[in-house]
Structure 1
Amino acid sequence: MSATSTTSRLRLLVPGVAIAALLAVLALALPRASADALAAPATHARHDGHGGHGGAVATVRLPHTAAQLALHDQMRRLWEDHITWTRLAIVTFADGSAGFSPTAARLLRNQGDIGNAIKPFYGDAAGKQLTALLRDHITIAVEVLQAAKAHDATAFASAKARWYANADDIADLLASVNPRFWPQSMMRADMREHLDQTLAEAANELAGDYAGSIADYEQVHTHILAMADLLSSGIIRQLPGRVG
């Protein structure tokens, strides 16, 4: 799907919706947690990546060479772009700003940037597949919001299920190319946490709870940096000869 068609679909979600009703539907997608839990700093427990799932924290290897540092910084920049352009899309959508369409297009471009980043290590096919899945990650999110706007609980449940299934597909692709350091259960948990946090951020922004939305974004930011570090470290540890 092109950036133009996607942003055209997003423009259908314009102001004028009943924010309270929208939030009531979005709330169905959020995990059952207290307001205090949502406001608390994100924790990032990880498995050790060696087949054990007893709650051990994964080892994230810090970069030691110029090439490793470059990969570490690139992965952080790409995933920070992902959450930054997502936030700007949420804010411009909530405000009805004319900047929404180009922001959404830039967000879609980021998905290609992330897919291209893994091509040197896992090949063109894996990179293209990751890009396609990440683009679906964005476009299915549109469907979630469209269903919320229409107060269509059936469509909302369907879109939500497909959005989380897509998150699992992204996690499974990453796990398939690096199962030792990106185990499936850990990657699935990371992707689902990303969706949960983004939904909370959007719901608060649409409700006009800007302080809450900012607090949610801080959680999104903390989590995505940890995830980016896991990805760069996993490549370095799996392919030391490629990132010397």
Structure 2
Amino acid sequence: MKKLLLAGVLLLGPLNMPAGPVSAAAETRLSQSEVRFENEFRKLWLDHVLWTSNYITSATTAGAEDQQQVLARLLRNQEDLGNAVKPVYGEKGGNQLTALLKEHIVIAGKLVDAAKAGQTASVNQLNKEWHQNASDLAAFLSGANPYLKDEDLKKLLFMHLELVANDLSASLKKDWEARITAIDEGVTHIILMADTISAGVVKQFPEKFQG
């Protein structure tokens, strides 16, 4: 509950400060451009979790007809995330992030199919590839930004994988309460991960967020 309350406070953004002498808190007030970037980046990562969960629903529900459409929307989210960092990391950097994130989704899709078919060996192999992709994502982001540490990012990304796997496992078992828990935890965690990355970007390029 505390985590969800904290997430709600983060989504609301900074509170208005009362009029009066400039205080230390006022001096560190976030600029509109910084708030806009952080909120938009957070929304994109929330979309990442929610559309991944929607894809799991489509892929594991008998008779579902929207699997390909949901997948297309999920892949577009990875393009949106790459585009979000192009103003600071350029066209090449944004495209590289999109490519890594699309690989993350493709592997996840294969994992869903293998798990649904009960192919344990394939699940184990794909899980290794999934974690390697997460390591590659951490290496890319930490290599681009000195304020983002590789080990910290890997922990965040590995936890994201674990929570998606929990969502999938609960779906296959039709344990709906466990699935709700997995999705709630996934949303809370992705806010933390998004804010960690966006804070590093703002710290690296303060001049881009002064207005």
Higher share of residues assigned helix:
2
Aligned residue identity for 1:109: R
Structure 2: runs of 5+ lacking an equivalent: 5-27
- Measure the CA separation in 1 of the matches of 2:119 and 2:185: 29
Equivalent residues in 2 for 1:28-177 (5 A)? 64-96=30-62, 97-177=64-144
Q: Deviation at 1:104?
A: 1.2
- Measure the CA separation in 2 of the matches of 1:106 and 1:79: 13
Aligned length: 185
- Name the Cα RMSD after superposition: 1.9
Structure 1: 4+ residue segments shifted above 4 A: none
Mapped contact 1:63–1:72 kept (Cα < 8 A): no
Matched residue, 1:194: 160
Q: Deviation at 1:241?
A: 0.5
Mapped contact 1:63–1:69 kept (Cα < 8 A): no
TM-score by length of 2: 0.82
TM-score by length of 1: 0.71
1:209 aligns with 2:175: yes
Q: Deviation at 1:212?
A: 0.8
- Measure the CA separation in 2 of the matches of 1:210 and 1:153: 23
Mapped contact 2:56–2:112 kept (Cα < 8 A): no
Q: Deviation at 1:146?
A: 3.1
Q: Structure 1 residues 80, 158: closer, same or farther in 2, change over 3 A?
A: same
Structure 1: runs of 5+ lacking an equivalent: 1-40, 43-61
* Structure 1, 110-119 or 150-159: larger mean CA deviation: 150-159
Q: Deviation at 1:150?
A: 4.2
Q: Deviation at 1:155?
A: 2.5
Q: Cα deviations across residues 93-123 of structure 1 (Å, max 9, x unaligned)?
A: 2223112221111001000000111111011
* Structure 1, 194-203 or 142-151: larger mean CA deviation: 142-151
Mapped contact 1:75–1:231 kept (Cα < 8 A): no
Q: Structure 1 residues 143, 94: closer, same or farther in 2, change over 3 A?
A: closer
- Measure the CA separation in 1 of the matches of 2:117 and 2:192: 36
- Measure the CA separation in 2 of the matches of 1:63 and 1:103: 39
